[in-house]
């Protein structure tokens, strides 16, 4: 696979920040399995950026983008220290920080990191993806097994309790019945559910 240094990329009104190509999931639908680009952006990283690499690519006027989104191919919370440094810089300049995550940060770091995240994170989108632990494990193939499904719910609950605007996301292809189950899970965690259309 060809690799690049696409540490940031613009999509719509937002600037996306790509910290790693690694992930604790191996989702069967992950674009990492199919191609090296996403909407024309080459995201497989030749190397992981430092905080300075990314900060150097932020616009001088932070208002140039609506949100600064830690996303990319991989799981951004794997690089918590670097993420924290960049996000604090964005917040210092008055920007809005969002993290798109698989919700496994507390498992990855073996501690509750939501207090740290709350200091610099405005919004968190946690991929719920499925309605049961077994279905989640089959779809996302997490390194942590089915425990990941419960851990991501606990993570989202803690993020919301700390005042971060937190929501779960699912894709509409799972069907109405599962979407209703996911809505109940979201409600029990005190977060909202966003249902995204499937993008082939």
Residues within the interface to ligand SF4 (CB under 6 A): 23, 25-27, 30, 32, 73-75, 102, 127, 140
Contact predicate 81/54, CB 8 Å: no
Burial of 187 (0-12, 13-18, 19+ CB in 10 A): exposed
Please identify, using beta-carbon distances, which residue of 74 and 95 lies nearer to ligand SF4. 74
Of residues 164, 184, 182, the one with CA closest to residue 172: 182
Min separation Cβ 109 and ligand SF4, Å: 16
Please identify, using beta-carbon distances, which residue of 138 and 180 lies nearer to ligand SF4. 138
Min separation Cβ 72 and ligand SF4, Å: 8
Min separation Cβ 176 and ligand SF4, Å: 23
- What residues contact residue 109 under an 8 Å CB cut-off, 6+ apart? 77, 80
Please identify, using beta-carbon distances, which residue of 89 and 159 lies nearer to ligand SF4. 159
What gap in Å lies between CA 96 and CA 167, rounded to an integer? 16
Please identify, using beta-carbon distances, which residue of 75 and 89 lies nearer to ligand SF4. 75
What gap in Å lies between CA 183 and CA 6, rounded to an integer? 35
Please identify, using beta-carbon distances, which residue of 11 and 55 lies nearer to ligand SF4. 11
Q: How far is CA 54 from CA 67, 87, 108, in A?
A: 15, 10, 23
Min separation Cβ 165 and ligand SF4, Å: 20
Min separation Cβ 148 and ligand SF4, Å: 10
């Amino acid at each position: 696979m060809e690799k690049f240094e696409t540490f940031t990329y613009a999509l719509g009104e937002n600037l996306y920040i790509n910290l790693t190509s690694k992930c604790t999931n191996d989702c069967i639908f992950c674009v990492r399995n199919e191609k090296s680009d996403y909407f024309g952006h080459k995201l497989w990283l030749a190397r992981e950026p430092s905080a300075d690499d990314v900060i150097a690519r932020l616009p001088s006027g932070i208002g140039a983008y609506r949100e600064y989104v830690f996303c990319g191919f991989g799981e951004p919370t794997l690089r918590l220290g670097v993420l924290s440094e960049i996000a604090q810089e964005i917040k210092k300049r008055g920007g809005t920080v969002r993290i798109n995550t698989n919700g496994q940060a507390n498992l990855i770091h073996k501690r509750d990191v939501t207090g740290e995240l709350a200091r610099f994170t405005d919004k968190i989108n946690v991929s719920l993806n499925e309605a049961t632990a077994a279905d989640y494990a089959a779809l996302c193939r997490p390194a942590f097994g089915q425990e990941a499904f419960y851990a991501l719910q606990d993570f989202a609950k803690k993020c919301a309790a700390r005042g971060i605007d937190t929501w779960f996301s699912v894709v509409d292809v799972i069907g109405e019945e599962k979407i209703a189950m996911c809505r109940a899970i979201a409600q029990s965690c005190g977060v909202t559910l966003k249902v995204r259309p499937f993008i082939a």
